[in-house]
Amino acid sequence: MWVGDTIYFLSDRNGPVSLFAYDTKTRQVSEAVANHGLDFKSASAGPGAIVYEQFGSLHVYDLNTRQVKDVNIRVAGDLPHVQPHFVKVDAKDIHNIELSPTGVRAVLEAHGDILTVPSDKGDVRDLTNTTAVEERDPAWAPNGKWIAYFSDASGEYGLELRDQSGLGDVRKISLGNPPSFFYSPKWSPDSNKIAYTDKRLSLWYVDVNKGAPVKVDTNLFETPERTLDPEWAPDSQWLTYTKLLPNHLHAVFVYSLASGKSFQITDGMSDTRYPNFDANGKYLYFLASTDVGLSADWLDMSSLNRPVSSSAYVVVLRKDLPSPLAPESDEEKVAEEQKKSDQDKPLGEVKTKKKSKAADEEEASAEDQENGSSQGKKEEPVVVRVDMDNISQRILALPIPARNYVDLQAGKTGELFLLEAPPVLSEEDFQNPKMVLHKFTLKKRKVDKFVDGIADFRLSHDGKKLLYRKGEQWIIASTDAPPKPSADEPKPGEGPLKLENLQVMWIPGRSGTRCITRYGASSATSSTTRIITDSTCRPPPRNMPLT
């Protein structure tokens, strides 16, 4: 830059790049502006001054006074992306979705808020609607009234209960000291207690009426996947969970709330996961693998790409109960023996060939009661009893083919749902999981494919509704029969949850959640307004293995 008799230029001859001047008369070079910071990036001469840029700011060097002044620049633009604005909630923005007790609504976490969406009719409800608070991991109480979730409104995470209608005051329950990060609240069937885990590998439960957390057990080793897998017994007096043993294999445990003691069910010679009580309280189901092998040690490349299979088992909890898998045989009865048998019976007990309608209904009612589905007559409360004497001799293999099952959930009495993943998970499987859901019926002793190409699933508390993720959709279906093809019109209360009209208000710069992840999805049936912001992502759900 030639100004008068002086040539100005940028140079790093004295250290950081600064502005120098060369006098053409004296042929001397001097430093015009001393620089003890970052380099000058560019410079340009104008009338009476030189402007230069340093670290994104502009400065003016006056050629007459040889003084430097800062240039204050303020750009007034619309900048819509940094203003509060509506954004569409996509499937990838939603986490921890669960069904209501009867499956008429779903509760989910989206951008740090807890929302419920209807299965068919109605509006989305934003239960929390907070801007600077993170709420997560919602769980719907079996009685339908309360929704529990973790909140950091106090600065540390605690448990909050809110009425499912969104009305009324929130109930806050402290989870004690020291503070921690908590996961996966699970309501007891009586809606009085909640089980949960923490980042210190401990399993807890808290009575929502008393508010005093009780520690159940602590896992032995830490892995990226949370594997305690707690589930309640139908009488709310027992918990079952899996715990790592010193051999790095999981074993199934049960915990009695009455005695405050845990009991180991399996022998630790296989890797057992996903224990679930049957709705009748008589049985305990779980998965076990004897070829988990090198894949048990996750922090090692030798554990990758190892095919793993598991089988399903049932534990008969009481020693006075018969085996649910006792041998069956179809036998032909001789006519004369049948006639003689009828003659030996009292007259009122002889079965006629033509039964009355009332008799048919009575038999159907008795069968329904046996299956746990009687109507009209009040059912006796389930009482769970676990006899530890020789319990290992009451563990039976279910007639289910061994596959790579990554989840098991018990539905109605005698019904199991198993999620099958590929034997070896590829990179594409993690990006776009496509698994097969199977249904097993204990009475028929038969397993059938229920729906394929899904990534995750949930059951309602009553076991009558199923929520599964397929692609970018979450779909509600009945558990009685496999879902019909998408081309068919779904029944009321079933079918995909609709997401296209769900949008939220985003205010940049506030604390909250703006997490983008490939796990979890959901939907809504009408528009809603919400405040969301930036934060971090959480781990995937339990049934998605980690690499």
Which residue in the block uniquely carries the two structure tokens 């769980």?
A: 139
CA distances from 226 to 27, 271, 530, 542 (A): 75, 15, 30, 7
Q: Which of 19-23, 195-199, 328-332, 520-524 has the lowest mean pLDDT?
A: 520-524
User: Residue 2 pLDDT > 50, yes or no?
Assistant: yes
Q: How confident is the model at residue 79 (pLDDT cuts 50, 70, 90)?
A: confident
Cα separation, 222 vs 206, in Å, equals 23
Predicted pLDDT at 340 = 65
Segment holding 8, helix H or strand E: strand 6-11
Please report the pLDDT score of residue 317 as a whole number: 97
Distance from C-alpha of 520 to C-alpha of 386, rounded to nearest angstrom: 36
Helix, strand and coil content of the chain, in percent to the nearest 5, comes to: 10, 40, 50
Q: Which tokens belong to 258?
A: 């009455």
Indicate the average pLDDT of the chain: 84
CATH 2.130.10.10 fits 85-298+305-321+385-534, yes or no: yes
Identify whether the C-beta of residue 86 lies closer than 8 Å to the C-beta of residue 72: no
91 or 58, which is more confident? 58
464 pLDDT higher than 80: yes
Gyration radius from the chain CA atoms: 33
Average pLDDT rounded to a whole number, residues 212-240:
93
Residue 329 tokens read as 């045989």
What is the token pair recorded at 309? 């299979």
pLDDT, tens digit, 9 for 90 and up, residues 5-59:
999 999 999 999 999 999 999 999 999 999 999 999 999 999 999 999 999 899 9
Among the listed ranges 89-103, 324-338, 350-364, 503-517, which one has the minimum average pLDDT value? 350-364
Task: Using alpha carbons, select from 264, 279, 278, 281 the residue that is nearest to residue 313.
Answer: 278
pLDDT of 397-408, one tens digit each?
999 999 999 999
CA distance 465 to 157: 31
Average pLDDT over residues 214-222: 94
pLDDT at site 214: 97
pTM of this prediction?
0.75
CA 131, CA 510: separation in Å to the nearest integer? Answer: 7
How far apart CA 137 and CA 135 sit, in angstroms, is 7
User: What per-residue confidence (pLDDT) applies to 385?
Assistant: 97
Which two three-digit tokens encode residue 70?
């800062």
Q: pLDDT value at position 129?
A: 83
| Residue ranges covered by each domain of the chain | 2-71, 85-298+305-321+385-534
**% of the chain exceeding 90 in pLDDT:** 62
Give residue 88's pLDDT: 77
CA distance 184 to 273: 16
